[in-house]
Amino acid sequence: FQSTFSESICSIRRKLELLQKLCETLKNGPGVMQILGLVLAFGNYMNGGNKTRGQADGFGLDILPKLKDVKSSDNSRSLLSYIVSYYLRNFDEDAGKEQCVFPLPEPQDLFQASQMKFEDFQKDLRKLKKDLKACEVEAGKVFQVSSKEHIQPFKENMEQFILQGKFQK
């Protein structure tokens, strides 16, 4: 139980750290702000004078996957590829160099985070708490029926594990 408990705690901690890192990058990453600013500026420019849209300013996040479908008048380029090339030309001083860094969160990290549900975290933590309590009860039973000369180091190790487990959750 000790090893599975530790593995479960580490797994939950890794997921939460990934979420925290993604939130920080999306909230404060200069590349994210610059790219979303370009989407806003180009979108507002393209909607300027469009009577059906009423010169709408701004955009919803649901438009982001559609950027690849908006094509130039000669159909040779998408709005997404134009925004990327504009960003590289005007904002990324390291573009084309070895030290160039992807300005957005890694797609695999975003995918992993999109699959996480807070209800699953709650369920996993409740189960760990219940299992730890059951372990504590079982250890208590062993303490009661064991003789003093045979109980150590088991008792000390179990008490330390249970204390750490309560602290970690």
pLDDT tens string 60-119 = 889 999 999 999 989 999 999 999 999 999 988 888 888 888 888 999 999 999 999 999
Q: Which domain holds residue 92?
A: 2-118
CA 61 distance to own-chain centroid: 18
pLDDT at 12: 92
| Tokens 């806003």 belong to residue | 40
Please determine, for residue 155, whether its predicted confidence score (pLDDT) is greater than 80: no
Asked if residue 135 and residue 66 are part of one domain, the reply reads: no
The count of structural domains within the chain is 2
For residues 44 and 27, state if they share a domain.
yes
127 and 138 fall within a common domain: yes
Tell me what pLDDT residue 49 has. 61
Would you state the structure tokens that stand for residue 34, as one six-digit string?
A: 């610059």
User: 40 with 107, same domain?
Assistant: yes
Least confident of 26-40, 55-69, 151-165: 151-165
* Residue 137 shares a structural domain with residue 100: no
Query: Does residue 128 sit in the same domain as residue 163?
Result: yes
Q: Name residue, tokens 């300005």.
A: 103
Average pLDDT, the chain: 86
The answer on 83 and 40 residing in a single domain is: yes
The DSSP secondary structure of 4-38, one letter per residue, reads HHHHHHHHHHHHHHHHHHHHHHHHH-HHHHHHHHH
Q: Are residues 50 and 107 in the same domain?
A: yes
More confident residue, 56 or 115: 115
134 and 72, same structural domain? no
Question: Is residue 35 located within the same domain as residue 107?
Answer: yes
pLDDT band of residue 120 (cuts 50, 70, 90) is very high
- What pLDDT shows up at residue 23? 95
Cα–Cα distance for residue pair 164/55, rounded to 1 Å: 60
The reported pLDDT for the residue numbered 148 is: 77
Length of the chain: 169
Q: What pLDDT does residue 82 have? A: 94
Q: What is the mean pLDDT of residues 27-38?
A: 92
Tell me, what's the pLDDT at 62? 92
Q: Whole-angstrom Cα distance, residue 101 to residue 97?
A: 9
Same domain, 45 and 108: yes
CA 128 to chain centre: 22
Name the band, by pLDDT with cuts 50, 70 and 90, for residue 55.
low
For helices 154-168 and 118-145, angle between their N-to-C axes, nearest 10 degrees: 160
CATH label of the domain that carries residue 66 = 1.20.58.2220
Record the pTM. Answer: 0.68
Quick one: 130 and 78 in the same domain? Answer: no
**Residue 168: what pLDDT?**
65
In sequence order, the 6+-apart residues with CB closer than 8 A to the CB of 79 are: 42, 46, 67, 68, 70, 71
Residue matched to tokens 């955009």: 59
Q: Which pLDDT does position 169 carry in this prediction? A: 54
Structure tokens at 166: 């309560």
CA–CA gap between residue 7 and residue 131 (Å, rounded): 14
> How far is the C-alpha of 58 from the C-alpha of 3, rounded, in Å?
51
- Read off the amino acid at residue 151: I
